[in-house]
Amino acid sequence: MYKKEISKAVINRLPRYYRYLGDLLEKDVVRISSKELSEKMKVTASQIRQDLNNFGGFGQQGYGYNVEYLHSEIGKILGLDTKYNMIIIGAGNLGQALANYVDFERRGFYVKALFDVSPKLIGQEVRGNIIKSADELEDYIKNNKVDIVAITVPKAKAPQLAADLVKWGIKGIWNFAPTDLNLPKDVTVENVHLAESLMKLSYRLSGKDDMRD
Q: Which residues contact a second copy (rule: CB under 8 A)?
A: 1, 3-4, 11-12, 14-16, 18-19, 23, 41-42, 77-80, 82-84, 92-94, 96-98, 100-101, 103-104, 107-109, 147-148, 171-172, 174, 178-180, 186, 188, 190, 192-208, 210-213
Q: How far is the CB of 172 from a second copy (least distance, A)?
A: 5
Q: How far is the CB of 30 from a second copy (least distance, A)?
A: 22
Q: How far is the CB of 121 from a second copy (least distance, A)?
A: 12
Q: How far is the CB of 200 from a second copy (least distance, A)?
A: 6
Minimum CB distance to a second copy smaller for 28 or for 195? 195
Minimum CB distance to a second copy smaller for 62 or for 213? 213
Minimum CB distance to a second copy smaller for 61 or for 200? 200
- The three state secondary structure string of the chain is CHHHHCCHHHHHHHHHHHHHHHHHHHCCCCEECHHHHHHHHCCCHHHHHHHHHCCCCCEECCCEEEHHHHHHHHHHHCCCCCCEEEEEECCCHHHHHHHCCHHHHHCCEEEEEEEECCCCCCCCEECCEECEEHHHHHHHHHHCCCCEEEECCCHHHHHHHHHHHHHCCCCEEEECCCCCCCCCCCCEEEECCHHHHHHHHHHHHHCCHHHCC
Minimum CB distance to a second copy smaller for 135 or for 155? 155
What distances in angstroms separate CA 34 from CA 54, 128, 150, one per listed residue? 15, 42, 36
Minimum CB distance to a second copy smaller for 45 or for 94? 94
- Asked if 144 and 85 touch (Cβ cutoff 8 Å), the reply is yes
Minimum CB distance to a second copy smaller for 163 or for 205? 205
Q: How far is the CB of 146 from a second copy (least distance, A)?
A: 11
Q: How far is the CB of 87 from a second copy (least distance, A)?
A: 14
